[in-house]
Amino acid sequence: MTVTIHDVAHRAKVSISTVSRAFTTPDLVKPETRSRILAAAGELGYQPAGGPRKPVSRTGHIGIIVSDLDNPFFTGVLNGVQARARQDDVAVLFANSDEDPVTEENLARNMARQVDGLVLCSPSMSDEQLHDLAGQTFVVLLNREIEGIPSVVMDSPGGMRQAIQHLAALGHKRCAFIGGPRDSWSNAARRSGLRPAAEEHGIEVVEFGPFPPRFEGGLQGADLALAAGVTAIIAYNDLVAFGVLARLNARGVPVPDEVSLVGFDDLVFAAISAPPLTTVAMPAEAAGRAAVNVLLAQLDDDHRVGTNRSLDTYLIVRATTAPPRA
């Protein structure tokens, strides 16, 4: 029976990610912990892969897995990935996990055998699973940060601060945040910018959720926000914001005359909604390009390209925000 990294972790009484780091980045593990892991590996006869190595001959393919292909945000990411890969004559294989961690892990492990490296966009796998995968092939995370794995993120906390600053400048004192999935890294990143900015500008925030990051999530959250007596709503993403807008319209609540609304992502539909949506622009296509840059640099041992990138976000003010009614 093959001994796995899970067996070593169980024997050494540590996490899978700690075992992975002990073999791939030993400087990040305490000497006594690493000694215990090495002893457990020796007792079990575990043979580590030693982390990803530059392939002797490349396949000329890279893979990308997104969490929800129905969300146009991920279409923008794919456009960036394909455009950058095309410059180096690299083919792109892509798959959609439908926000299911089990499906995502199976796709990643199967795809890893067919490509030179993987870009995982908003992955929902655990830290341990991602470290284990990064020990087998080159991995770049997009919209997720984990120590020891290359990543490209967008400054969601900064975007949230801009949104709060904008609402405060208009005179809003009480707003709602319609949150995304409970375990979403992006949701946590946005919330990390929400509270400090609200306190700085004297805005009371009421949080609702978790909600699915889709139109239906906004439909559910809008009624709760109205019942809380807020004058402004910040939605987890534009799809949720469109659901909020539809529900407010159905209830005869004018936007922005009675309630202001801010989204996140700046999808193509944001500029043509009725009214056009104020939103935080997330550079999806640029992030896709950057992720491929980081992945190809790993394959080429090109240390001129950083392994962790953060891209700026910015608020686009349109017609769904205005001063609160007196």
For 11-23, write each residue's pLDDT tens digit: 888 887 787 777 7
Reported pTM: 0.82
What pLDDT is stored for residue 15 in this prediction?
83
Residue type at 252 in one-letter notation = G
Please give the average per-residue pLDDT across 107-130, as a whole number.
Answer: 93
Main-chain dihedrals φ then ψ at residue 96, nearest 5 degrees:
-120, 125
Looking at the DSSP bridge assignments, the partners of residue 66 are 96
Nearest-5° Cα angle at 288, 304 to 115? 80
Spatial contact of 280 and 315, defined as CB atoms under 8 Å apart: yes
pLDDT for residue 53 is more than 90:
no
What does residue 130 show for φ and ψ, rounded to 5 degrees? -70, -40
> Six-digit token pair at 112?
């890893």
Model confidence at 50, pLDDT cuts 50, 70, 90, reads: very low
Domains of the chain, start order: 5-44 (1.10.260), 61-153+285-310 (3.40.50.2300), 156-283 (3.40.50.2300)
Please determine, for residue 92, whether its predicted confidence score (pLDDT) is greater than 70: yes
Angle between the 127-134 and 101-112 helix axes, to the nearest 10 degrees? 0
Q: Is residue 306 pLDDT above 90, yes or no? A: no
Give CA–CA dist 92/81, Å, rounded: 8
Partner residues linked to 228 by β-bridges = none
Does the pLDDT of residue 55 top 70, yes or no?
Answer: no
Question: Over the Cα atoms of the chain, what is R_g?
Answer: 22
Nearest to residue 292, comparing CAs of 170, 172, 139, 131?
Answer: 139
Q: Which residues lie closer than 8 Å to 216 by C-beta, 6 or more apart?
A: 243
pLDDT tens by residue, 219-245:
999 999 999 999 999 999 999 999 999
Q: What is the pLDDT of residue 1?
A: 58
**Helix 31-44 × helix 16-24 angle, to 10°:** 100
Helix, strand, coil % in the chain, rounded to nearest 5: 45, 15, 35
List the 151-154 sheet strands across, edge first: 91-96, 61-66, 117-121, 138-142, 151-154, 308-311
Question: For 165-197, how does the pLDDT look when each residue is reduced to its tens digit (9 = 90+)?
Answer: 999 999 999 999 999 999 899 999 999 999 999
The pLDDT, as a whole number, for residue 93 is 95
Q: 154-171, pLDDT tens digit by residue?
A: 999 999 999 999 999 999
Mean pLDDT of 256-261: 98
Mean predicted lDDT score pLDDT of the chain: 91
Is the pLDDT confidence value at 215 over 60?
Answer: yes
User: What is the pLDDT at residue 64?
Assistant: 97
**pLDDT surpassing 60 at residue 56:** no
User: Cβ(178)–Cβ(208) under 8 Å?
Assistant: yes
DSSP assigned state of 314 = E
